Amino acid sequence: MGEALTVQPLSREAFAPFGNVLETDGAELRMINEGTTERFHALARAELIADGAAIISIFRGQPRAFPYSVTMMERHPLGSQAFFPLDNRPWLVIAAEDEEGRPGRPQAFLADGRQGVNYRANVWHHPLMALGQTSSFLVVDRDGEGVNLEEWSYPAPYVIAAATG
Amino acid sequence: MGEALTVQPLSREAFAPFGNVLETDGAELRMINEGTTERFHALARAELIADGAAIISIFRGQPRAFPYSVTMMERHPLGSQAFFPLDNRPWLVIAAEDEEGRPGRPQAFLADGRQGVNYRANVWHHPLMALGQTSSFLVVDRDGEGVNLEEWSYPAPYVIAAATG
């Protein structure tokens, strides 16, 4: 089967080694537009390395089945990548610290339907993990010249029994 | 009262003078993540003028009451500004062509709950117009040095009778 991974709730503190959590709780709030709009300011900043542009895309991901085997990770050396759920549905975030050019043990986080993340450039993470139903996400990442994708397959899988931990 | 404005449905064609419509219909589609994810690629590109960074924020806007008087417009000379609704609720987009440094007659568009827009840099637009209930939007715009806000008050208001036109 493979080594079991537990799932922890997504929080700024727990996710800090990997990037930002995009959520209103705890964010800097500015009132704008004559008091009609709350601006939760700069939850994340797009990183663009070696030029390139920040682009906005929509990802539509199929739901994953459990138990789920984490067999590989990827990273984007030239830019950050942000995901925000558009269906108010929980989803799974999986990231790992780098260990001499390879991903270490994955860490799995359950995001609620109002939480996004921004992976910093070169942070190992698992491809999009929607839950329950096909779900859409707004994505902000880098477009430009250069090789911006690296993948790594683990010698043995890690297994997530269920999305709720 | 002021001159009446009609509301038209938001579409790529109608909005082309002002920027991009962020929607999956008609977008370039790439299959990624071993076929588990559809990527609707590069619906918009963040414009960053005079340096600065692309940042991700959340705006929470109060709903507007109708009839609504459009009395002013604003623009951001140094960067684009994208809005995407997070509550799957229709909202109003109002933009205007520039006429010798001032906004011309406003054009109002009804966006559905799965349509966002990206105003190009220096495009006149109205502050966020949520409808019905307080609604949240993911926003991608520019942070950095320089004056990135210009406002203009119309000598006489334009009036939108209802959000549905």
- List strand residue ranges (DSSP E) for chain A, in order: 3-5, 7-9, 19-22, 29-32, 37-45, 53-61, 68-75, 81-85, 91-96, 98-99, 102-103, 107-111, 116-119, 124-125, 129-130, 135-143, 150-160
* Cβ <8 Å between A46 and B54: yes
Nearest-Cα distance to chain A for B107, in Å, is: 19
pLDDT tens, position by position, A76-135: 999 999 999 999 999 999 999 999 999 999 999 999 999 999 999 999 999 999 999 999
Pairing of β A3-5 and β A150-160: parallel
> Tell me, what DSSP letter sits at residue A63?
B
Residues in chain B within 8 Å Cβ distance of A59? 32, 37-40
The mean pLDDT of B23-37, rounded to a whole number, is 94
H or E element in which residue A88 lies: none
Closest residue in B to A49 (Cα–Cα): B53
Q: Mean pLDDT in chain B?
A: 96
Domain residue ranges of chain A, discontinuous segments joined by +: 3-160
Closest residue in A to B46 (Cα–Cα): A54
Nearest-Cα distance to chain B for A124, in Å, is: 15
* Cβ <8 Å between B22 and A58: yes
Taking an 8 Å Cβ-Cβ cutoff, which residues of chain A contact chain B? 22-24, 27, 32-34, 36-46, 48, 53-62, 64, 82, 84, 86-88, 114, 116, 118, 127-128, 136, 138-140, 143
Residues in chain A within 8 Å Cβ distance of B68? none
Phi, psi of B12 (to 5 degrees): -55, -45
Q: Give residues with Cβ within 8 angstroms of B140, minimum separation 6.
A: A46, A54, A56, A140, B44, B46, B54, B55, B56, B57, B80, B81, B82, B118
What is the Cα–Cα distance from A85 to A83, expressed in whole angstroms?
Answer: 7
Q: Which of A91, A97, A128, A73 is nearest to A15 (CA)?
A: A97
On whether the pTM is more than 0.90, the answer is: yes
What pLDDT score was predicted for residue B14? 98
pLDDT tens, position by position, A15-53: 999 999 999 999 999 999 999 999 999 999 999 998 899
The mean pLDDT of B13-25, rounded to a whole number, is 97
Rounded to the nearest angstrom, the gap between the alpha carbon of residue B91 and the centroid of all alpha carbons in its chain is 10
| pLDDT band, residue A7 (cuts 50/70/90) | very high
Cα four-point dihedral sign A34, A38, A43, A44: negative
* Residues shown for chain A: 165
Residues in chain A within 8 Å Cβ distance of B116? 56, 138
* Cβ <8 Å between A86 and B84: yes
CB-closest option in A48, A55, A84 to B138: A84
When scoring B20, B58, B120 by the number of chain A Cβ atoms within 10 A, the one with the most, hence best to mutate, is B58
What is the Cα–Cα distance from A53 to B79, expressed in whole angstroms?
Answer: 13
When scoring A24, A25, A38, A56 by the number of chain B Cβ atoms within 10 A, the one with the most, hence best to mutate, is A56
- CATH code: domain B3-160 is 2.60.120.480
The mean pLDDT of B87-98, rounded to a whole number, is 98
The mean pLDDT of B74-98, rounded to a whole number, is 98
Q: Which of A38, A51, A44, A134 is nearest to A86 (CA)?
A: A134
Q: Give residues with Cβ within 8 angstroms of A72, minimum separation 6.
A: A126, A151, A152, A153, A154
Residues in chain B within 8 Å Cβ distance of A87? 88
* Cβ <8 Å between B138 and A37: no
